[in-house]
């Protein structure tokens, strides 16, 4: 499994009140079509097997959503199914490379992964997973950076990233929003404290994405060690 179209970008905030940098790493997965179908099937399987009505809404990302599989993210690590080990290993290698390249450190990482499935009109409201802009790895909450993989979505829709201050309601500059269109197989790795959200799903079909949080702390049973392959593909980096 290989990647291509590797891009490194830097979103920045530099004004009187705050200076912050938000490095993004994006790439695409080759020959994603077969995996796309299997990821959608597994997401639908999980949704059928779990009574979502009994789950409490603990999802910061669930603001504005109807009840759907997104709410499973506090209870299930998607990669525990062990059906997508090749994908897990590729994403792991890229996350360790991101950590080393961006922050110059080599911490053992842990991850939590889940599927966002958005129905017609649903969107992920603007949110962040960690609000500390002072460092890449927050030892207290265990979240350092995050990942989005677009599985199946409206090609005219996109995920947006907004550099802001610690005050989530105050955008430092509107022109700084950064957009990633929903191309199947496209991946973005970014700091968890970077505000992000999606445009509404305007198609009759569900929108599927895979999301991951990575950090240096094992936060519980739904987190698992982010393992590295014995010989990562050098073309990936």
pLDDT tens digits for range 87-134: 999 999 999 999 888 878 888 888 888 888 888 888 888 777 764 444
Closest among 188, 182, 107, 118 to 147, alpha carbons compared: 188
Percent of the chain surpassing pLDDT 90: 20
Flag whether 196 is in a domain: yes
pLDDT at 230 over 80: no
pLDDT at 2 over 70: yes
Flag whether 152 is in a domain: yes
More confident site: 194 or 18: 194
pLDDT at 170 over 90: no
**Number of domain units in the chain:** 1
pLDDT tens digits for range 24-66: 899 999 999 889 999 999 888 877 776 655 555 444 344 444 4
**Mean pLDDT over residues 131-158, rounded?**
69
Average pLDDT of the chain to the nearest whole number: 75
* Paired tokens of 147: 């990942």
Q: What is the CATH number of the domain that holds 161?
A: 2.60.120.620
E runs forming strands in the chain: 3-14, 19-29, 110-118, 145-152, 158-162, 178-181, 186-191, 195-198, 207-215, 224-225
Flag whether 12 is in a domain: no
Contacts of residue 160, Cβ cutoff 8 Å, sequence gap at least 6: 177, 178, 179, 180, 196, 197, 198, 199
Report how far residue 136's alpha carbon sits from residue 98's, in angstroms, rounded to the nearest whole number. 11
Flag whether 72 is in a domain: yes
Flag whether 70 is in a domain: yes
Distances (CA, A) of 189 to 52, 67, 133: 28, 26, 16
Do the Cβ atoms of 186 and 168 come closer than 8 Å?
Answer: no
Closest among 18, 11, 6, 10 to 132, alpha carbons compared: 18
What's residue 22's pLDDT?
80
pTM assigned to the model = 0.81
Flag whether 18 is in a domain: no
Flag whether 94 is in a domain: yes
């Amino acid at each position: 499994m290989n990647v291509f179209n590797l891009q490194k970008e830097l979103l920045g905030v530099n004004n009187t009140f705050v200076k912050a940098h938000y490095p993004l790493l994006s790439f695409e997965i080759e020959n994603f079509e077969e995996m796309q179908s299997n990821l959608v099937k597994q997401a639908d399987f999980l949704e059928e097997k779990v009574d979502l009505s009994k789950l409490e809404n603990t999802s910061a990302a669930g603001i504005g959503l109807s009840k759907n599989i997104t709410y499973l993210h506090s209870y299930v690590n998607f990669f525990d199914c062990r059906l997508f080990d090749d994908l897990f290993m590729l994403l792991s290698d890229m996350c360790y490379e991101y950590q080393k390249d961006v922050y110059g450190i080599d911490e053992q990482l842990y991850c939590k992964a889940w599927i966002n499935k958005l129905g017609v009109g649903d969107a992920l409201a603007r949110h962040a997973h960690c609000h500390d802009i002072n460092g890449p790895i927050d030892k207290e909450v265990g979240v350092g950076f995050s990942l989005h993989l677009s599985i199946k979505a409206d090609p005219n829709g996109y995920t947006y990233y907004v550099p802001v201050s610690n005050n989530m309601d105050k955008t430092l500059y509107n022109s700084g929003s950064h957009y990633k269109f929903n191309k199947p197989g496209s991946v973005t790795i970014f700091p968890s404290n970077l505000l992000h959200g999606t445009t509404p799903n305007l198609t009759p079909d569900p929108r599927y994405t895979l999301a991951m949080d990575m950090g240096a702390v094992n936060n519980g049973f739904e987190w698992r060690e982010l393992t590295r392959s014995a010989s990562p593909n050098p073309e990936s980096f």
